[in-house]
Structure 1
């Protein structure tokens, strides 16, 4: 294609240059012939005509020849028919002859018409044509070579951009939503790269929103599910192994057992759903930050409804101002739900509780106090799979893992309300780095929260 374009441009240019050289040679012949025709218009004396002919050029072969002055005809190259045609037409005539071109210029004298013959050699007509064609051929080769190099570079950039876009598309198709392309190449491919990056960002946002929606719906289900579990625990015993029962009573107890088993199964499924979505959000979104106060207020809106049904006095302290923490929002919400859910699960109805948020010494502290029986063995309660209440201990383990993720810790102490006090410490991302004993902070918070001294971190038995 490049060669065709070069030929289409250079061939007409070469022909035009050749015609220009020919026209210049013929114009020079017309100038030399005009010198002689001007002298004939003044005088037809042989001596004057001879002087004019000699003045027209140095080369005798190309000097003009005058026909029709009488006397002996000079030797020329023009045929008689061509001379007669010039005389009859009374206009200049170009005639091709062997070795060049003749220009015949008629001159009207008193009683006759003379013809001035001017010869133009073929080498003057094509003077420099060979060099011109060689130059044009060299230009054509250079243009084609440059075009090939430029097209090759442009094509290479386009191919590289296309391959990068294909690799990124295949990676996204395989589930890697973190891949991005560097827009490059032609404008259209660069725009396609920018569009691909926007699409990938939208996919990440949509998936994260979907995960957060599922996690939020799971959190919302905890409140009515806890109500169902507490109501189910208030039903009669479902034991059918001891005693004799009527068919109706036996069927009623079996129904109660199925209800309780269904609630336990549903609680396990919701826990798995929350745990799975939290892991997916953390893996896709990477390190995140949330507002502790906003999360506490949001979760207490849901738990407050259940607390009202059970006549549980409750309050939130210190959650008015923004307090950042280096954990994803879904993670912190799950930890709060786990700890507050334990309060509802393992304390009697009507037991008061409170949630407090504070910020000091490079840490953010979340304290959940209750007025229940407390925890007899705090160390055992913080170990996964161990509990004094007959459960898996998963709730406190979730809180512990979230705190460790934020370079913090979880501790259990006696609450000012008389029951258990679970304190989650999270590193403050806006605090000036300093060496602080975080357990000392827990102790100070606990001492400040107590209205009276209780005498230690552990106690021998549950409060009645």
Structure 2
């Protein structure tokens, strides 16, 4: 293809160069003929005409020759017929002769018409010479070689980029989503590389979110499992090695043992699922609203029954009025179950607890206090997957994720009851935005200095026992 393009360009170029050389040679012949014609217009003396012809050039073969004045015309190349035609037509005439062409210009001198003949050799006409063809063919070969080299380099880059994309795609298809490509090559392939990397990152994020969802859903199963385990523990002992039992009693005790073993096995399986699927925190994609008080009342119906079985004193404060929060109802219920479930799991039976809901300073606060031993390391307890009690460490993290989703936070402190106090802060969607001081930080500092009741920045966490 490159060869055809080079030939299509060089062949017309060669012909055009030959035509231009011929035109330039004939124009030079016309110029030399005009010098002699001008001399004839002044004088027909042989010496004057000879000096004018000698002034046109050093080559005697190409000097103009005046035909028809009776001088020496033996060196003329045009035939009598050609001369007669030029006189008859009264205009310039170019005639082919041996070795080149001649230009014939008729000049009227009284009753006589002379003809100025200028010979142009074939070499001056720019004919197609072997040297020119060899030179042009060499140029064509060089152009073809350079084109092939450049195209080869470009094709190699494109092929390498395409092969890299293929290898990366196959690796992702084989289960390695961490593969990335270096966007190189032509613009289109580079854009494809960037798109592939973005797709791989989205795939990793989607898989992480999916695994995280599985972990959170699995953790939700621990709430009914806790209830089943507590009910199973409330049953009589399943020890059949001491005492005498009838066959019916043995079957019943063995059934109790199987129930307890099945609950323990199921709890272990759920913990294993949570540990193996724990990844990055998934983000809520769509905003949602719920009534915090309603969710607290609904979940406390469930936990109150278990608290009654374990003789746990409990109470709910501040859950009578509507308290909106920008979180899905199911997510908030899961967070409450996770925190309250920790109370039942890690405190002895008979330990009191309370749940309080309050609304102030642009936040909705949910406080869960207990009278247990407390949490020795609150920072570690809030880290995902970290637990000093042998659990999955996801309970408080679920509460933390829900709070962050609602532009809030989670904190752990010492409760008034003596144990742990877990406070979930959720942004109040109906709170009036605070007026921004036009004086900025300086104005706020000056106002705080003037106000003796101001203690600087206040933490919007409820502290009162009546919430």
Change (3 A) 1:71 1:267: closer
Q: For residues 53 and 346 of structure 1, what CA distance do their matches in structure 2 show?
A: 130
Counterpart contact for 1:101–1:121, Cα < 8 Å = yes
Q: For residues 128 and 226 of structure 1, what CA distance do their matches in structure 2 show?
A: 103
Residue aligning to 2:183: 183
Deviation string for 1:201-230 (max 9, x for gaps)? Answer: 000000000011111111112112212332
Deviation string for 1:368-399 (max 9, x for gaps)? Answer: 99868x9xxxxxxxxxxxxxxxxxxx994447
Q: For residues 70 and 29 of structure 1, what CA distance do their matches in structure 2 show?
A: 23
Question: Is residue 118 from structure 1 mapped to residue 93 from structure 2 by the alignment?
Answer: no
Residue aligning to 1:344: 345
Q: Secondary structure at the match of 2:29?
A: helix
Change (3 A) 1:352 1:303: farther
Q: Secondary structure at the match of 1:310?
A: helix
Residue aligning to 1:388: none
Residue aligning to 1:452: none
Deviation string for 1:168-197 (max 9, x for gaps)? Answer: 112111111111111111111111110011
Q: For residues 339 and 163 of structure 1, what CA distance do their matches in structure 2 show?
A: 55
Q: Secondary structure at the match of 2:118?
A: strand
Residue aligning to 1:192: 192
Counterpart contact for 1:338–1:395, Cα < 8 Å = no
Deviation string for 1:81-118 (max 9, x for gaps)? Answer: 32222222222111122111111112223223222111
Q: For residues 260 and 17 of structure 1, what CA distance do their matches in structure 2 show?
A: 104
- Equivalent runs, 1:349-360 vs 2, <5 Å: 350-352=350-352
Counterpart contact for 2:218–2:274, Cα < 8 Å = yes
Q: For residues 117 and 45 of structure 2, what CA distance do their matches in structure 1 show?
A: 18
Q: For residues 173 and 243 of structure 1, what CA distance do their matches in structure 2 show?
A: 61
Q: For residues 212 and 343 of structure 2, what CA distance do their matches in structure 1 show?
A: 23
Q: Secondary structure at the match of 2:14?
A: helix
Change (3 A) 1:129 1:75: closer
Residue aligning to 2:383: none
Aligned length: 346
Change (3 A) 1:46 1:204: same
Unaligned runs of 5+ in 1: 286-300, 316-332, 355-367, 375-393, 401-415, 422-464
Change (3 A) 1:142 1:3: same
Counterpart contact for 1:65–1:74, Cα < 8 Å = no
Q: For residues 210 and 306 of structure 2, what CA distance do their matches in structure 1 show?
A: 33
Change (3 A) 1:352 1:183: same
Residue aligning to 2:324: none
Change (3 A) 1:184 1:304: farther
Residue aligning to 1:151: 151
Counterpart contact for 1:370–1:417, Cα < 8 Å = yes
Question: Is residue 210 from structure 1 mapped to residue 210 from structure 2 by the alignment?
Answer: yes
Q: For residues 133 and 114 of structure 1, what CA distance do their matches in structure 2 show?
A: 41
Q: For residues 315 and 160 of structure 2, what CA distance do their matches in structure 1 show?
A: 63
Deviation string for 1:263-320 (max 9, x for gaps)? Answer: 4454343223212212xx38x99xxxxxxxxxxxxxxx999786544334599xxxxx
Residue aligning to 1:49: 49
Question: Is residue 310 from structure 1 mapped to residue 306 from structure 2 by the alignment?
Answer: yes
Change (3 A) 1:275 1:339: farther
Counterpart contact for 2:171–2:179, Cα < 8 Å = yes
Residue aligning to 2:60: 60
1:128 to partner: Cα distance: 10
Question: What TM-score comes out, normalization by structure 2 length?
Answer: 0.59
Counterpart contact for 1:232–1:260, Cα < 8 Å = yes
1:153 to partner: Cα distance: 2.2
Q: Secondary structure at the match of 1:96?
A: strand
Q: For residues 80 and 112 of structure 2, what CA distance do their matches in structure 1 show?
A: 16
- Equivalent runs, 1:237-386 vs 2, <5 Å: 263-278=263-278, 281=279, 307-311=303-307, 312=312, 313=314, 343-344=344-345, 347-348=348-349, 350-352=350-352
Q: Secondary structure at the match of 2:58?
A: coil
Change (3 A) 1:243 1:26: same
Residue aligning to 2:16: 16
Q: Secondary structure at the match of 1:175?
A: coil
Residue aligning to 2:26: 26
Deviation string for 1:209-257 (max 9, x for gaps)? Answer: 00111111111121122123323544678899965588xx999989877
- Name the Cα RMSD after superposition: 4.8
Deviation string for 1:402-458 (max 9, x for gaps)? Answer: xxxxxxxxxxxxxx9999x9xxxxxxxxxxxxxxxxxxxxxxxxxxxxxxxxxxxxx
Q: For residues 39 and 276 of structure 1, what CA distance do their matches in structure 2 show?
A: 112
Residue aligning to 1:174: 174
Q: For residues 75 and 418 of structure 2, what CA distance do their matches in structure 1 show?
A: 143
Q: For residues 346 and 54 of structure 1, what CA distance do their matches in structure 2 show?
A: 130
